[in-house]
Structure 1
Amino acid sequence: MTPMDTPTPQQAACLQSMFDHFNGELFNGTLDRHSVILCWTHAHQVKAGYYYPNRWTDDGGNALAELSINARCMRERTVTELSSYMVHEMIHMEQHTAGTAGRPGYHNAGFIERAQRLGF
């Protein structure tokens, strides 16, 4: 059994693959994959996912964000819906990176405009 045959790296690879795909197709590769930790959450108060800037730090003291998708969604939602949750949180990441993010937990006009341009 190779390490990729176990559930943890398989799930991590799935999240990274989704992020990389949408980053290339929708965000022109502008989101830094090295500045975000992708994970699943079981937090009951989270509906579909969240983006939390500056949640972690790397060994060099650089801030890392957390982008998390609710694991419940894997059983209850389609791949299309899971993908839309990922893109939703990536818009939050894009806004934070560009310095245009609104208050935490809210969608400002720029977020709504960007989501509409992406077809949401």
Structure 2
Amino acid sequence: MTFDSELDCTIQTGLTTSDGILTGQIRVAATPEMYGPLEKLYDVFNEKLFGGALPGCLLTLQRERRNSYGYFSRKRWVSRAGTFADEIALNPNHFAVTPLLEALQTLCHEMVHQMQSLYGKPGRRGYHNKEFARMMAEVGLQASNTGKPGGKETGESMSDYPIAGGKFLQVVEDLLASGFTIAWMDRFPPVAIVQLAAANTAAPADLGDAASEALTLASLPLSADTLAKLSVQADPSQPPSAPTRTKYTCACMTNIWGKRGILATCGVCGSQFLPAKPTVADREDDKP
């Protein structure tokens, strides 16, 4: 399976009808260009990481949970024929200001929830148990409440990071080599997400010594110059945000809250407090 490296969003330019409608307009195919690659991505992950064991789902883009990357909802949809479908939602607020690798991790993370809902024993709503952590490791992702090495692998809110040399990174390498990308980005991500992305300047996860240039680039956010060229900016409809508290976590998992940009060191473990990563909101609804 291959992906077009340069997606052409233009159907026609300068289209003119008999009554003058659409003169000089550019028609786009944004819906298939956005959802088509995501559906193919799900299929590739299903085949390569889950052995084709997942039945499919309805992929959606949801902004309602600003601080989450996505969620899984069991049997959320039903067809007129009475067939149920699970939902996996991704938050487009993050696409422009966080690395592409984060979006790929989010989809895989939620697919693990789907796998566990079908073949395992999920924890209580919102809780990530040891079985979930084991299933994540099997596909090449390490569960971590901080999104970094040393974090707790069980708990309510959970992030993750790729295991160097693991199956997830191997599959992603092939995807990137085939030209996969997310073609469309939200131009106006919320101010809070832009600020958090700017504050979270920790080095990307260890991708292994053999990581390709494409994989390394996918682990980095777009540059400020690139975002400016794409007209991406903090949501102009939102008033300038007043100073708010940011959550910081140290190596021994102690949390503090303070203004953005503070420098603090833990008196117990001696490590620096770093801005906590957003977590992946998880099973929204596990009703059978």
Q: Same fold (TM over 0.5)?
A: yes
Question: TM-score under structure 1 normalisation?
Answer: 0.87
* Kept after mapping to 1: 8 A contact 2:73/2:88: yes
Counterparts in 2 of 1:10-25, with a 5 A limit?
Answer: 10-25=33-48
Deviation digits for residues 4-62 of structure 1 (CA, Å, limit 9, x no counterpart):
x51111111021011011111100111112xx101111113551100000111012112
TM-score, length of structure 2 as denominator length? 0.38
Q: Which has the higher helix share?
A: 1
**Segment drifting more, 79-88 vs 98-107:** 98-107
Aligned residues: 116
Name the residue aligned to 2:53: 30
What letter is aligned with 1:101?
A: P
Structure 2: where are the runs of 5+ without partners?
1-10, 13-27, 142-288
Give the C-alpha shift of residue 104 in structure 1: 2.3
Q: What is the alpha-carbon distance in structure 1 between the residues aligned to residue 51 and residue 98 of structure 2?
A: 27
Equivalent residue letter for 2:33: Q
Q: Matches of 1:102 and 1:112 in 2, distance apart?
A: 11
**1:43-54 equivalences in 2 (<5 Å):** 43-45=64-66, 47-54=68-75
TM-superposition CA deviations, 1:41-90 (whole Å, max 9, x none)? 11135511000001110121122111011111211222211111000000
Counterparts of 1:90 and 1:38 in 2: how far apart (Å)? 11
Higher-Rg member (1/2): 2
| Structure 1 segments unaligned to the other structure (5+ residues) | none
Q: Which residue of 2 aligns with 1:87?
A: 108
In the TM superposition, what are the counterparts of 1:1-120 in structure 2 within 5 Å? 1=11, 5-33=28-56, 36-45=57-66, 47-120=68-141
CA RMSD of aligned residues (A): 1.7
| Identical counterparts, % of pairs | 28
Cα separation, 1, equivalents of 2:92 and 2:125 = 21
